[in-house]
Homo-oligomer: A and B are copies of this chain.
Amino acid sequence: MRYGVLGTGEVGRTLGGRLVELGHEVWLGSRTRENPAAREWAAAAGAGADAGTFAEAAAFGEVVVNAVGGRVALAALEAAGPENLGGKVLVDVSNPLAFEEGELRLSPVESDSVGEQIQRAFPHARVVKSLNTVNCRVMVDPARVPGEHQVFVCGDDEGAKEQVTALLGEFGWPQERVLDLGDIRAARAVEMWLPLWVGLMQKFGHADFNLELRRAR
């Protein structure tokens, strides 16, 4: 499969790298064609890896992954171009976090989410929110954390969620550990998990953790 991964930060490079290892072709996209981090990533990732602009990466991908920060997601996707997103599965793994004066802030929050913003702005993309509840190393290697811990998917397109669930399976998340929360409005709930995630990361001193939902029945 051909993937366009938008974002050259740790999340984009980690997801892109694992996709290449799994035998996929990946273009990593950034604002500029000659982004040094992206070029270095492509050279290290080897065959199947390339780097270019957001638009080039999105045009290349049969599936597009939004791995830029949630607060700049719409700008990156605007640069990618609606013509390169229409009809495609668009996996949004972002969180709209920022630290302002030492405090964690989340925006949008509560009555909206990045997942919904993207789906509204690109109505022909098949947006699935997923993986934003774990660190990127856990995203692509859930066995870093013991237990039957889970990830979530939500989105308006059932077929797109099935496709993303299959991709999660390639990363090592068995289907029974992928919890479908319904339509894209559930992105609010998973994005609002982040303040607790950050608090726990600070408490534990590392990011190799996740939640396992335990239930009576």
Contact = CB atoms under 8 A, between A and B. Distances in A.
A51 interface: no
Contact of A214 (B109, B195, B212): B212
A97 to B, nearest CB: 11
Contacts of A208: 215-217
Interface string A175-207: 000011110011011101101101110111010
Interface residues of A, number: 42
A196 B190 contact: yes
Interface in A47-87: none
A206 B214 contact: no
Given A144-B216, A210-B213, A210-B214, 10 more contacts: A103-B185, A109-B109, A110-B110, A189-B198, A192-B192, A206-B215, A206-B217, A210-B215, A211-B212, A212-B213
A199 B181 contact: yes
A106 interface: yes
Contacts of A1: none
A189 B196 contact: yes
17 contacts: A103-B111, A105-B111, A106-B110, A109-B109, A110-B195, A179-B203, A182-B202, A188-B195, A189-B195, A189-B199, A192-B193, A204-B215, A208-B215, A210-B215, A211-B212, A211-B214, A212-B213
